[in-house]
């Protein structure tokens, strides 16, 4: 890499860092908007663990000591879904108030405009995951895969935010509306319930089972769950990380293309 190329990469990295820091500062100032993403999944986990403990005796249900262990991956994904569209909402707000135009008129590279907000959202998701893991462990949950499995869960949470955030940024660039971006949250929330998040697909019937089996969220949750309740598996870790990584690459590329089209369209 030439000196000018290295300098360009370092400049883009610095710009991404500053925009990520701006995103984190905004989240800290609106802490009350972050708390539901922690409180609601934890309350739901407490209720489900109490009410569904008897399903552990069902033939074909995964062998776990507590429903708390089974529901841990679902709780993390649910927590991530809250605020996952923040990167898109922030971008839409910047379009509405003209800040994006000022950024584009400045020497800021195009990549950091998208990546900075996504990085900030991914950091928030990682912190949420660490908090949820700590709470679950305090109340008796066990992670069979150990610290390595916990690290995978943190990385998966960050990658899922990149997937959803990339889609939200596409919507933001296309519409320039916070309301339009926010309207995607119910679809994300419903898709979690129509997966294997709260019940194994092997015990489902009919069309719901088909939807759950082909739901990409199930493809991520299932290997993570095996890391929690069975043992460490490199294959499961690679699947859990690989699927959202590929999806994130696709959604972020789509957001970059949408931004480029916005800039070149008269």
**What is the pTM for the complete model shown?**
0.87
* pLDDT (tens digit per residue) in 110-148: 777 788 888 888 888 898 899 999 999 998 888 988 999
State how far the Cα of 228 lies from the Cα of 71, in Å rounded to an integer. 10
* pLDDT (tens digit per residue) in 31-54: 666 677 778 888 888 888 777 777
Which string of DSSP letters, residue by residue, matches 235-246? HHHHHHHHHHHH
| Nearest to 169, CA basis, from 209, 213, 121 | 121
- What are the residue boundaries of the structural domains of the chain, listed by start? 3-264
Burial 107-125 (b: 16+ CB within 10 A, else e): ebeeebbbbbbbbbbbbbb
In this prediction, residue 134 carries a pLDDT of 93
Q: Is the pLDDT of residue 234 over 90?
A: yes
* pLDDT (tens digit per residue) in 196-222: 888 888 888 888 889 999 999 999 999
Using N-to-C axis directions, what is the helix angle for 110-138 and 36-51, rounded to 10°? Answer: 40
Q: Is the pLDDT of residue 2 over 70?
A: no
Q: Is the pLDDT of residue 103 over 80?
A: no
Mean pLDDT of 46-69: 80
Burial 228-253 (b: 16+ CB within 10 A, else e): bbbebbeebbebbbebbbebbeebbe
- Residue 4: both structure tokens together: 């000018």
């Amino acid at each position: 890499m030439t000196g000018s190329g290295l300098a360009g990469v370092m400049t883009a990295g610095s710009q991404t860092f500053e925009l990520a820091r701006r995103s984190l500062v905004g989240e800290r100032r609106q802490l009350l908007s972050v708390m539901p993403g922690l409180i609601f999944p934890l309350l739901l986990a407490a209720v489900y663990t109490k009410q569904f403990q008897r399903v552990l005796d069902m033939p074909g249900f995964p062998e776990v000591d507590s429903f708390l262990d089974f529901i841990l991956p679902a709780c993390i994904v649910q927590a991530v879904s809250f605020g996952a569209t923040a990167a898109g909402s922030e971008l839409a707000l910047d379009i509405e108030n003209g800040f994006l135009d000022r950024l584009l008129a400045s020497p800021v590279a195009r990549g950091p405009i998208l990546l900075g907000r996504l990085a900030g959202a991914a950091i928030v998701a990682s912190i949420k995951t660490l908090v949820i893991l700590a709470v679950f462990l305090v109340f008796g949950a066990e992670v069979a895969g150990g610290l390595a499995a916990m690290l995978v869960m943190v990385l998966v949470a960050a990658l899922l935010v990149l997937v959803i955030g990339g889609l939200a940024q596409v919507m933001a660039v296309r519409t320039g509306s916070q309301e339009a971006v926010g309207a995607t949250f119910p679809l994300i929330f419903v898709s979690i319930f129509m997966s294997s998040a709260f019940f194994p697909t092997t015990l489902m019937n009919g069309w719901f089972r088909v939807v759950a089996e082909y739901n990409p969220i199930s493809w991520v949750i299932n290997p993570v769950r095996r890391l929690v309740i069975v043992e460490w598996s490199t294959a499961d870790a690679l699947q859990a990380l690989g699927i959202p990584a590929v999806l994130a690459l696709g959604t972020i590329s789509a957001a970059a293309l949408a931004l480029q089209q916005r800039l070149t369209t008269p």
